[in-house]
């Protein structure tokens, strides 16, 4: 910028300085060379005097550019911004220099601003709202969640003046991102949920049309809040084998029921899916209390023959609120999975429940089929509508009796009711002498009162 040639006048044994102001290019570059050439003329003789030259290298780099990020860094149950009352948590902020030019952060600060709609606090002596920073070095605040429930709000982290300066220009460094908002909400403690369906062998794999009180999910509950809470409602999703919501859930189920020590709470299945089961705060839990609930389904008498699943799709589908002294409901209490303290999504769905015919002879079957005799067991499945004696016989293809089991009316495997009580009787693939049978096809004949059925069982390696 300005003239490339500058004139100076020197006397004997004198020196002089010349300076140029140069503007860097828009793009970065490396190994550029500047060359300064001097020339002179003797004022006495008018003749040219010897000159000199000098060269130096120059590199053009991108200017300093500050970028701020911030997040909740712990504990794990706080990462989604939902806190229990008085929960200690940390916020971590990081400034990065996206440019090449260095920065001077002497005196520079970042600041955390807590929500105005809650009593969030600094946690610990020595904690301050403003802290120094240096690019690439995390800055952490120790905080406490509000001592009571709060509506959604934001924690704000931002750079404050004076900002860091660009070492090349000595001017304030440019800022790409200078403020970050972190959504937060304090809930009145949490209820943890655990899926214990497998412990009770829930659900059955196959049920007949019209089956009643079929268990599909069993859940363990723990009240980790400091309040007495009550369950208000639960939304249950009815899905196909691919996990898609059924558009006509009423074709598959007549009703859904929550069963707990506090009673049974049912909802008719009609057109809406998920299905809301209204509990009305009737399932109550003291602070620290444990409880269980089981979800049962009444299968439609005309349900199509296909697989159906039942799902508690997300934490928002399970409503708990604080019990207030004068009756009624207080603030909502969060729900998390007991395994990771996160949303329950993907962890509370039933296994496939297959619906089959309500005719005894069409429903009777076994699974797995084929099975490996001596290594695993197959289950012979049937249902009973009243107490009646049951006899199961298995023959080889030559007609020889291999195994038999008899059950007296009213005993295990031989009791029933109008809800179509279904049974699964195991066979380990051994004959009456305890020997493992050979591979092949066997004939199973089951007689239950006036009903009977014959089907094939395959034994494989």
Confidence grade of residue 52 (pLDDT, cut at 50, 70, 90) = confident
Across the range 80-90, mean pLDDT stands at 83
Place of tokens 């260095």: 102
pLDDT at 90 over 80: yes
pLDDT attached to residue 251: 92
pLDDT attached to residue 332: 79
324/229 Cα distance (integer angstroms): 9
Strands 179-187, 82-84: pairing is parallel
- Reading the block at residue 304, the tokens are 């199509």
45/31 Cα distance (integer angstroms): 41
More confident residue, 90 or 74: 90
pLDDT > 70: what percent of the chain?
Answer: 94
Tell me if residue 208 falls in helix, strand or coil.
strand
pLDDT tens string 384-421? 989 999 999 999 999 999 999 999 999 999 998 877 78
* Closest alpha carbon to 331 in 149, 83, 152, 85: 149
pLDDT at 289 over 90: yes
272/247 Cα distance (integer angstroms): 8
pLDDT tens string 300-336? 988 888 889 999 998 889 999 888 777 667 777 888 8
pLDDT at 133 over 80: yes
- Reading the block at residue 393, the tokens are 């016989």
pLDDT at 64 over 90: no
More confident residue, 272 or 334: 272
More confident residue, 135 or 59: 135
pLDDT at 144 over 80: yes
Check whether the bond before 368 is cis (ω within 30° of 0). yes
Cα angle 110, 113, 116 (rounded to 5 degrees) comes to 170
Strands 451-460, 121-122: pairing is unpaired
pLDDT tens string 193-250? 999 987 766 656 688 888 888 899 999 999 988 788 899 999 999 999 888 999 999 9
pLDDT at 10 over 80: no
Confidence grade of residue 26 (pLDDT, cut at 50, 70, 90) = low
pLDDT tens string 397-407? 999 999 999 99
Q: Which of 181-190, 280-289, 448-457 has the lowest mean pLDDT?
A: 181-190
- Reading the block at residue 92, the tokens are 């971590």
pLDDT at 31 over 80: no
pLDDT at 113 over 90: yes
pLDDT tens string 93-108? 999 998 888 899 999 9
pLDDT attached to residue 228: 86
Q: How many helices (H) and strands (E) does the chain have?
A: 1, 34
pLDDT tens string 346-365? 899 888 888 888 889 988 99
pLDDT attached to residue 193: 94
pLDDT attached to residue 5: 81
pLDDT attached to residue 278: 96
pLDDT attached to residue 181: 97
Confidence grade of residue 112 (pLDDT, cut at 50, 70, 90) = very high
- Mean pLDDT rounded to a whole number for the chain: 88
Residue 121: Cβ within 10 Å count: 15
Q: 119 and 147 in contact (C-beta within 8 Å)?
A: yes
Question: pTM for this one?
Answer: 0.55
290/225 Cα distance (integer angstroms): 12
Q: 319 and 237 in contact (C-beta within 8 Å)?
A: no
């Amino acid at each position: 910028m300005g003239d490339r040639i500058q004139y100076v006048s020197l006397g004997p044994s004198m020196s002089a300085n010349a300076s140029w102001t140069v503007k860097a290019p828009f793009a970065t570059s490396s190994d550029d060379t500047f060359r300064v050439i001097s020339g002179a003329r003797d004022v006495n003789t008018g003749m040219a005097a010897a000159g000199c030259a000098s060269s130096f290298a120059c590199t053009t780099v991108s200017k300093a550019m500050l970028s701020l990020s911030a997040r909740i860094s712990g504990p794990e149950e706080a990462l989604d911004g939902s806190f229990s009352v008085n929960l200690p948590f940390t916020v971590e902020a990081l400034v990065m220099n996206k440019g090449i030019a260095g920065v001077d952060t002497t005196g520079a600060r970042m600041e955390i601003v807590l929500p105005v709609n809650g009593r969030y606090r600094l946690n610990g002596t020595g904690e301050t709202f403003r802290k120094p920073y240096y690019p690439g070095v995390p800055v952490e605040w120790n905080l406490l969640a509000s001592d009571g429930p709060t509506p959604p709000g934001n924690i704000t982290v931002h750079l404050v003046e004076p900002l860091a300066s660009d070492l090349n220009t000595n001017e304030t460094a440019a800022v790409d991102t200078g403020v970050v908002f972190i959504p937060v909400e304090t809930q009145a403690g949490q209820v943890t949920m655990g899926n214990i369906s497998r412990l009770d062998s829930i659900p059955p794999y196959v049920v007949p049309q019209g089956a009643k009180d079929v268990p599909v999910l069993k859940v363990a509950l723990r009240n980790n809040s400091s309040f007495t809470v009550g369950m208000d409602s639960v939304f249950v999703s009815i899905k196909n084998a691919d996990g898609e919501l059924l558009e006509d859930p009423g074709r598959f189920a007549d009703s859904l029921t929550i069963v707990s020590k506090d009673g049974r709470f049912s909802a008719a299945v009609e057109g809406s899916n998920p299905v809301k089961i209204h509990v009305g705060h009737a399932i109550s839990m003291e602070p620290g209390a444990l409880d269980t609930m089981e979800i049962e389904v009444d299968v439609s008498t005309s349900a199509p023959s296909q697989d159906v699943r039942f799902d508690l799709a997300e934490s928002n589908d399970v409503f708990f609120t604080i019990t207030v002294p004068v009756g009624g409901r207080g603030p909502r209490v969060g729900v998390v999975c007991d395994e990771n303290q996160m949303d329950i999504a993907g962890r509370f769905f039933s296994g496939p429940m297959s619906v089959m015919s309500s005719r005894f002879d069409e429903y009777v079957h076994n699974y797995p089929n084929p099975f490996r005799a001596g290594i695993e067991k197959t289950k012979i499945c049937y249902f009973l509508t009243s107490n009646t004696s049951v006899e199961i016989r298995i023959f080889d293809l030559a007609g020889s009796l291999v195994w038999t089991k008899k059950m007296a009316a009213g005993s295990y495997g031989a009791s029933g009711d109008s809800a179509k009580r279904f049974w699964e009787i195991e066979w380990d693939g051994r004959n009456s002498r305890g020997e493992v049978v050979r591979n092949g096809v066997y004939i199973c004949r089951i007689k239950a009162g006036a009903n009977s059925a014959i089907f094939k069982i395959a034994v494989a390696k």
